[in-house]
Amino acid sequence: MDAYKFISVQSNIFLPILDAYKIVMFVGREQEIRQLNQTLTRSGPHLVAVYGRRRVGKTYLIRHAYRANLTFFATALQGKSLKRQLENFTLTLLEHQKEEVLPEQLPSTWLQAFHLLRTWIDRKKTSKKKVIFLDEFPWYHSKRSGFLEAFGNFWNNYATTRNDLIVVICGSAASWMIKNVLANKGSLHNRITTRIRLLPFNLAETEEFLTRSGVKLDRYSLLSLYMTIGGIPHYLDRIEPGKSAVQNIDQLFYGRNALLRDEFDNLYPALFANPERHLKVVRYLSAPKRGRTKKEIIKALRITPGGSTTRMFNELLESGFIDAYYTYGKKAIDHQYYLSDEYSLFYMKFVENRRSQGKGTWMKIAASQAWKSWSGLAFETICLKHVREIKQELGISAVLTEESKWQDPKAQIDLLIDRNDFSINVCEIKFSQDPFKITKRYAEQLRNKVSAFRAKTGSRKSLFLTLITTMGLVESKYIQQLNLISLDMNALFSDPK
């Protein structure tokens, strides 16, 4: 106990300094912070559920938003026994109470443990809102542990009787959170008052985060980084100032003790109880051809259709690993899934099973044709994630729209923005390291795509051909002839409110 107290006291000495630093460094999450702040101003008890993939910044967000009201904060132990979980919970409670001595007998059940928590809360006489934060909530639960039932009892029979209590539960295991909390049919049914699904940073937030960290890179380099690690704050925090994007990628994936070389092996098991089928779907969708219907995926992977398969797809969607888009003119049930997690896409293509490792590996790969070809697909995925930003740059933020793709045997359109003002932006997405040149042949291809779309769909709306590139366009007569709208990568860095 003495050793435990020593560690706890020493760690708490620096908490005010660390919290002040984090406040300065906090980036984005405006909507999520507004939601959390509302629980502080509205009367009545609140049960808040925050979930999202590993390393996305859930704990950081909650501690920032509730820093002045955080009354109790405990984190579960991964894969530990009931006895160890109860011991950890009790020791954490004692630390908050600043107790000198352990109780004669530790609680042997979760009902007893939550009774201790209730007793301590009752002793807090302040009138301000009190936040109880249970981090990595799914790890507390195990078969026959009685945790979920005891927590339900704590919420229904105690927390709901107090107007000054906010209980926050947080977890990376999206499948468990969705099934056991958000879709709970028992004591927690419809009890969640605030639900937050935390997603990675967009490009604007990524740029702001890195700038505040002292990392100064041009936007093409930032885009290259985003293609490899996405907007995961924990990964971005490892980008070193004074090094190029190529050097940082090399260090993160190929250098000695590379942080992200082994991350993939831990990522999916940490989120899903039985990740084998999830990984099969992810690997299948990592193939160059993007977009598969659920029926195609089930058939190709010989997965048994049913409720568990539907739940698996929902878990991957909720965790942000896959996304879906609609095919113009088809029913919603025919939407197609694609792998949208940048880290997974990059890892499976350029890191996994690669013989060459060590410093300088990425320098060679980045100059290869394989990277240039793959970048086009990666850039398209990023554009699909940044439709709000694209709409803002097009001046149609306030217009109701529906996004989709379209293809027939002879033509394919990367992105359609179907607008409620009787117009459609027909978007072509092109990645290049230099300003893109429209040749006579390519101009004809664009005309044919628009004509084919008009003929096949019978749409009578105004069609605006829109080209989204990385570095803009080379001046050409075809820009005027095609009445082309041009956006470059800077459009993706805009910050729509």
State residue 491's pLDDT score. Answer: 97
Three-state SS sequence of the chain: CHHHHHHHHHHHHCHHHHHHHHHHHCCCCHHHHHHHHHHHHCCCCEEEEEECCCCCCHHHHHHHHCCCCEEEEEECCCCCCHHHHHHHHHHHHHHHHCCCCCCCCCCCCHHHHHHHHHHHHHCCCCCCCEEEEEECHHHHCCCCCCHHHHHHHHHHHCHHHCCCEEEEEEECCHHHHHHHHHCCCCCCCCCCCEEEECCCCCHHHHHHHHHHCCCCCCHHHHHHHHHHHCCCHHHHCCCCCCCCHHHHHHHHHCCCCCCCCCHHHHHHHHHCCCCHHHHHHHHHHCCCCCCEEHHHHHHHHCCCCCHHHHHHHHHHHHCCCEEEEEECCCCHHHCEEEECCHHHHHHHHHCCCCCCCCCCHHHHHHCCHHHHHHHHHHHHHHHHHCHHHHHHHHCCCCCCEEEEEEEECCEEEEEEEEECCCEEEEEEEECCCCCECCCHHHHHHHHHHHHHHHHHHCCCCEEEEEEEECCCECCCHHHHHCCCEEECHHHHHCCCC
Same domain, 23 and 44: yes
| pLDDT, position 181 | 84
Q: Are 157 and 250 found together in one domain?
A: no
Q: In what order do the strands lie in the sheet with 130-135?
A: 70-75, 130-135, 165-171, 46-51, 194-197
Task: Classify residue 467: in a domain, yes or no.
Answer: yes
Whether 89 and 213 share a structural domain = no
pLDDT of residue 185: 79
Residues 163 and 89 in one domain: yes
Least confident stretch, 8-22, 44-58, 318-332 = 8-22
Residue 463's domain spans which residues? 388-493
Instruction: Judge if 46 and 170 occupy the same domain.
Output: yes
In tens, the pLDDT along 402-431 reads 999 998 888 899 999 999 999 999 999 999
The single-letter code of the amino acid at 321 is F
Determine the average pLDDT of the residues in 26-40: 91
- For residues 366 and 411, membership in a common domain is answered with no
Clarify whether residues 246 and 222 are in a common domain: yes
Specify if 354 maps to a domain.
no
Last residue of a domain, one of 179, 197, 215: 197
The mean per-residue pLDDT over the stretch 345-352 comes to 93
Last residue of a domain, one of 197, 223, 243: 197
96 vs 423, more confident:
423
Higher pLDDT, 83 or 9: 83
Number of structural domains found in the chain: 4
Structural domain includes residue 400: yes
- The answer to whether residue 243 is domain-embedded is yes
- Assigned domain for 352 exists: no
Q: Does a structural domain hold residue 267?
A: no
Give the position of tokens 């933020």: 397
CATH number at residue 420: 3.40.1350.10
pTM (two decimals): 0.88
Strand partners, 74: 134
Q: What number is the average pLDDT over the span 41-61?
A: 92
Mark whether 370 and 437 lie in a shared domain.
no
Statement: residue 15 has pLDDT above 60: no
- Residue 384 tokens read as 């699909």
Angle at 456 between CA 287 and CA 334, to 5 degrees: 45
Q: Please indicate, yes or no, whether residues 257 and 375 belong to a single structural domain of this protein.
A: yes
**Within-domain flag for 286:** yes
Euclidean distance between CA atoms 385 and 374, whole angstroms: 17
Q: For residue 353, is it within any domain?
A: no
One domain, residues 235 and 308 = no
Confidence band (pLDDT; 50, 70, 90) for 21?
Answer: very low
Instruction: Give residue 104's pLDDT.
Output: 64
Say yes or no: 367 and 457 in one domain.
no
Average pLDDT, the chain: 88
Looking at per-residue pLDDT, the higher value among 183 and 279 belongs to 279
**Same domain (yes/no): 277, 300:** yes
CATH classification of the domain holding 99: 3.40.50.300
